[in-house]
Amino acid sequence: MKKLDFIHLHEMEFYGYHGVLPEENKIGQRFRVSLSLAVDLAGAGRTDDLELTVNYADVFGLVRDVVEGEPVKLIETVAERIAKRVLAAFPGKVSGCRVRVLKPDPPIPGHYRGVEVDITRGRFS
C-alpha cells in the first residue's frame, strides 16, 4: 500500500492588494491561506532530520512573498502562484499541494464569511 503523508499550514494571514476593484488595490485587505503539502514524511519521522522534510518557515515565507507581493486581480491567480512557487522550491520533496486562498472581507454586499478558491496542483504520474 502506498503511503500518503501531508504537512498542513492552516490559515496563514497576510495583507495584500489583490482585487478587481480600485479600492482593493489602493487600501488592501486581509487574505488567509491554507496549504497542504504531499510529502513523504517517513524518513524524517524515523531520523528526526529536518533535511528529510519541508521547513514550515520556508513555506510560510514563500506564501508571504506571493500574497504580499505584486498585486493581481484574482485570488485564483494568487493560488496558482503559490502552488507554482512551492512546487518549484521543493522539487524532490513536495509531490503535490492543495492551496486555499480566502478573502474574508471582499467588497460584496451581503452577509457571509468570505470567498475562497481551492486548487490542487502537483507532479502526478
Q: Is residue 25 part of a domain?
A: yes
The count of domains in the chain is: 1
Q: Is residue 29 part of a domain?
A: yes
Give the CATH number of the domain where residue 21 resides: 3.30.1130.10
Task: Report the C-alpha gap between 115 and 63 in whole angstroms.
Answer: 18
Contact between 30 and 87 (Cβ < 8 Å): no
Q: Is residue 1 part of a domain?
A: no
Average pLDDT over the chain reads 94
pLDDT at 112: 84
CA 78 to chain centre: 8
Task: Report the C-alpha gap between 76 and 78 in whole angstroms.
Answer: 5
Task: Report the C-alpha gap between 39 and 3 in whole angstroms.
Answer: 10
Active-site residue, from 26, 84, 93, 103: 103
Does the structure show a pLDDT above 90 at 2?
A: no
pLDDT at 16: 97
Does the structure show a pLDDT above 90 at 108?
A: no
pLDDT at 119: 98
Q: Is residue 19 part of a domain?
A: yes
Burial class of residue 75 (count of CB atoms within 10 Å of its CB; 0-12, 13-18, 19+): buried
3 noted as active-site residue: no
Q: Is residue 106 part of a domain?
A: yes
Task: Report the C-alpha gap between 99 and 122 in whole angstroms.
Answer: 11
Which pLDDT band holds residue 3 (cuts at 50, 70, 90)? Answer: confident
Segments forming the whole domain that contains residue 118: 6-122
Q: What is the pLDDT of residues 6-52, one digit of tens each?
A: 999 999 999 999 999 998 999 999 999 999 999 999 999 999 999 99
